[in-house]
Amino acid sequence: MFKTTRLIGLVVCILLYRGCVHAQAAYAATATNCISSFYDQKMYNWFAYSNNCTDAVTVTFESRDGHHGGTLDIRPGRNGNTGYTEREIEAMGGVEAYACPEHYIPVDSNDRNITKPVNAFRCKYRGY
C-alpha cells in the first residue's frame, strides 16, 4: 500500500510539474503578444514598449550586441520607455524583448535571468 501511494504521488508531481511548465510557456506567449514597440515622440523619441492588453506585463529587453538591457513593468494601456534613442538602438544592432505577466521574469533554458538574446525563454515567478 505504501509503495502504491508513493508511486501515485510521484506521478501526480510529474504531471503537475509538466502542467506548470506548459502554463509558463503559455504565459510567455500571451504576454509577448501584448506588447508593441515604437519611438515615443512624447518622451524624447526614446524607444518604448506599449502594453496593449488588460493585464500588467514585465518586459525585459536585451540588445543584440549583448551590452545593454533593462526591465520595464508596464500597466495595461501604458507605455514604458527604454531611454535609448533610435541611433543608440541601431548601434546596438537592435533589441530583443521578452514579456511576462506581472510578478514573473523571463529566464533562459538553464533557469537563469536573461542577460543576452536567447532563442527560447519561459516566465518564472519573482516571489513578490
Q: How many CB atoms lie within 10 A of CB 113?
A: 11
Tell me the mean pLDDT in the region 95-117. Answer: 92
pLDDT the model gives residue 12: 33
Tell me the mean pLDDT in the region 27-42. Answer: 82
Question: What's the CA gap between 18 and 47, in Å, rounded?
Answer: 37
Please, which pLDDT band fits residue 99 given cuts at 50, 70 and 90? very high
Q: What share of the chain is helix, strand, coil (3-state, %, to 5)?
A: 30, 35, 35
Question: What's the CA gap between 9 and 19, in Å, rounded?
Answer: 15
7-19 burial: b if 16+ Cβ within 10 Å, else e? eeeeeeeeeeeee
Backbone angles phi, psi at 3, to 5 degrees: -65, -40
Which contiguous run of DSSP H or E holds residue 38?
A: strand 35-40
Cell numbers at 44, concatenated: 524624447
Write out the residue range of the structural domain in which residue 12 sits: 2-125
Domains: count for the chain: 1
Tell me the pLDDT tens digit for each residue of 50-94.
Answer: 999 999 999 999 999 989 999 999 999 999 999 999 999 999 999
Closest CA to 29 of 85, 106, 127, 114: 106
Confidence (pTM): 0.75
